[in-house]
Amino acid sequence: NAGVMQNPRHLVRRRGQEARLRCSPMKGHSHVYWYRQLPEEGLKFMVYLQKENIIDESGMPKERFSAEFPKEGPSILRIQQVVRGDSAAYFCASSPDNQPQHFGDGTRLSIL
């Protein structure tokens, strides 16, 4: 069984560019979650999605960040006009109807 797949594993962007992070959940999982891990900090919840719906986005910054989980294809976390402070590891997790959440190996985003 394939686990949660995230790509790219590493992403480098210049300030002002857009970053797109992709997440394919485990087979049979319809719930997707995004977390951010800043250097020297713990994992922080960003957003929880089910197919075509955002259920909880209480951890998403109000501007520049958006997430989607379309009917077909992976979940996308999009960061517009990136700034240095966006440098972090972004983790995606998925679950079936009930917990637990299973995590991918993350995307390391570096902003030049």
Partner 1 sequence: EDQVTQSPEALRLQEGESSSLNCSYTVSGLRGLFWYRQDPGKGPEFLFTLYSAGEEKEKERLKATLTKKESFLHITAPKPEDSATYLCAALHGSSNTGKLIFGQGTTLQVKP
* Helix H or strand E segment including 77: strand 75-79
Task: Report whether 13 contacts 5 (CB < 8 A).
Answer: no
Residue in 22, 29, 45, 110 binding partner 1, rule: CB under 8 A: 45
Q: Which stretch binds partner 1 (CB under 8 A): 13-21, 31-39, 63-71, 78-86?
A: 31-39
**How far apart (Å, rounded) are the C-alpha atoms in residues 79 and 64?**
6
Q: Per CB under 8 A, does 102 bind partner 1? A: yes
DSSP output for 32-50 = EEEEEE-TTS-EEEEEEEE
For residue 47, with 0-12 CB atoms within 10 Å meaning exposed, 13-18 middle and 19 or more buried, which class applies? buried
Q: Per CB under 8 A, does 39 bind partner 1? A: no
Q: Per CB under 8 A, does 35 bind partner 1? A: yes
Helix (H, G, I), strand (E, B) or coil at 86: helix
Residue in 19, 21, 33, 67 binding partner 1, rule: CB under 8 A: 33
Q: Per CB under 8 A, does 51 bind partner 1? A: no
Residue in 8, 15, 56, 112 binding partner 1, rule: CB under 8 A: 56
Site residues (CB under 8 A) for partner 1?
Answer: 4, 6, 31, 33, 35, 41-45, 48, 55-56, 58-59, 91, 93, 95, 99-106
